[in-house]
Amino acid sequence: MSREAGVIPGPAQHTPPRPSAEGTSRRSSAPPSALDPVALSPPAGERHLSQQVWRPAPTKGAWCGFAICACAVVLIIALGAAYAGTQSTPTRLIAAALGTAACSIFVVAAIGTWWSASLTYVLGPAALEIRSLGRRIRIHYRSLDRVTRMDRDVGSPPALWPGIHVGRAPAEAGHTCTWRGTTTEPVHVIAATAGASSWIVTPAEPRAFRDALVRCAERVPYAPQTAAPARRSLLDRLAMVDGWCRVAFAANIAVAAAGVALDVRQHGAAQPDSLIAAGVLAANAMLWLAVRHRASGVARLLLAWSAVAYGLSILW
């Protein structure tokens, strides 16, 4: 029986009608030994199972993460010096609050950088595994309906920052579309669909990866997926927050930290205008948390206004 590229049919008596894969390319002309996981020797550390390990598409995500970590460290040092260099209780409270926020930024940036460096796609004997941060997500071959390569713009998928795409993208009702990739270039984007769940991966060699995944899935009988989608991770939840709001929030922290550090250096304590600006920042942060899901534009304006207000207080 002939099989259409990109669609993974199972036994005729159990296979529901499935739409053909759109935007897929022909199979790779590479020899079977280059694509067949059974023909490969197990890598180091895997004694019993043959598998292929595929790297994601090259990205600058790790470098962005290092840069964010470095900026956060500078803020932490500046705020620590301000805390130690003043006897003013309000100034110390502000420095401690801003230092906590800067530490949070550092932790998230470090986790995201580690995620980018550790991300791999593994074709094992029974499932596609997406590995990162020492954890793995398994998509069993028996539940795959189709494997599709994109040939069009993928829009604006969730991103922690450029080069790190995690989280759930908008999808049709009842369907989940979860990203675990490093780029939005259509040539690298592959969707593995199992029931009502799609997993988006971005291997460095998309054509060979897709063909290898299709061959692995064709070896096992088709069985509809019944398991629920994987729980959202911390990075998934953060990536779903509006990107511009995250940038504006980080800018607020940086401007506020600079203001406190300068005040302590010049006057020994935060000045009244800095205290007022800090209050505005706290109030706008609360409002942002309240409206960020319903009115992202308003949330952006609130955070941008806070950064401008604090910046003006420093200049004046």
Q: Kindly state the average pLDDT of the residues 232-257.
A: 88
Residues 142 and 165 in one domain: yes
Q: How confident is the model at residue 225 (pLDDT cuts 50, 70, 90)?
A: low
Report if residue 7 sits inside a domain: no
Please classify residue 238 by burial: count the beta carbons closer than 10 Å to its beta carbon, then call 0-12 exposed, 13-18 middle and 19+ buried: middle
Q: How confident is the model at residue 316 (pLDDT cuts 50, 70, 90)?
A: low
Give 115 or 242, the one with higher predicted confidence.
115
Give 313 or 74, the one with higher predicted confidence.
74
Last residue of a domain, one of 194, 210, 234: 234
Say if residue 101's pLDDT is above 90.
yes
Last residue of a domain, one of 176, 201, 234: 234
Report if residue 158 sits inside a domain: yes
Q: What is the pLDDT of residue 302?
A: 75
Give 40 or 194, the one with higher predicted confidence.
194
- For residue 146, what are its two tokens? 């189709």
Q: How confident is the model at residue 3 (pLDDT cuts 50, 70, 90)?
A: very low
Residues 149 and 287 in one domain: no
Residues 76, 200 contacting (CB under 8 angstroms)? no
Cα 243 from Cα 69, distance rounded (Å): 17
Q: Kindly state the average pLDDT of the residues 290-314.
A: 73
Report if residue 176 sits inside a domain: yes
- Percentage with pLDDT > 90 across the chain: 47
Report if residue 2 sits inside a domain: no
- For residue 273, what are its two tokens? 């205008």
Residues 175 and 215 in one domain: yes
Q: What is the pLDDT of residue 288?
A: 73
Residues 129 and 44 in one domain: yes
Give 58 or 47, the one with higher predicted confidence.
58
Residues 296 and 152 in one domain: no
Residues 48 and 197 in one domain: yes
In the chain, the N- to C-terminal Cα span, in Å, equals 78
Residues 43 and 171 in one domain: yes
Q: How many domains does the chain have?
A: 2
Q: What is the pLDDT of residue 32?
A: 31
Residues 191 and 160 in one domain: yes
Q: What is the pLDDT of residue 227?
A: 54
Q: What is the pLDDT of residue 12?
A: 37
Residues 253 and 192 in one domain: no
- Percentage with pLDDT > 70 across the chain: 79
Residues 160, 119 contacting (CB under 8 angstroms)? no
197-201/176-181 β-pairing: parallel
Report if residue 197 sits inside a domain: yes
Q: Which residues of 25-64 are buried (b: 16+ CB within 10 A; e: fewer)?
A: eeebeeeeeebebeeeeeeeeeeeebebebebbebebbeb
Residues 227 and 278 in one domain: no
Q: How many CB atoms lie within 10 A of CB 142?
A: 17
Report if residue 22 sits inside a domain: no
Residues 185 and 225 in one domain: yes
| Structural domain for 174, as ranges | 32-56+119-234
Report if residue 87 sits inside a domain: yes
Residues 181 and 310 in one domain: no
Last residue of a domain, one of 234, 251, 273: 234
Q: Which residues of 259-268 are buried (b: 16+ CB within 10 A; e: fewer)?
A: bbbbbbeeee
135-140/146-149 β-pairing: unpaired
Report if residue 178 sits inside a domain: yes
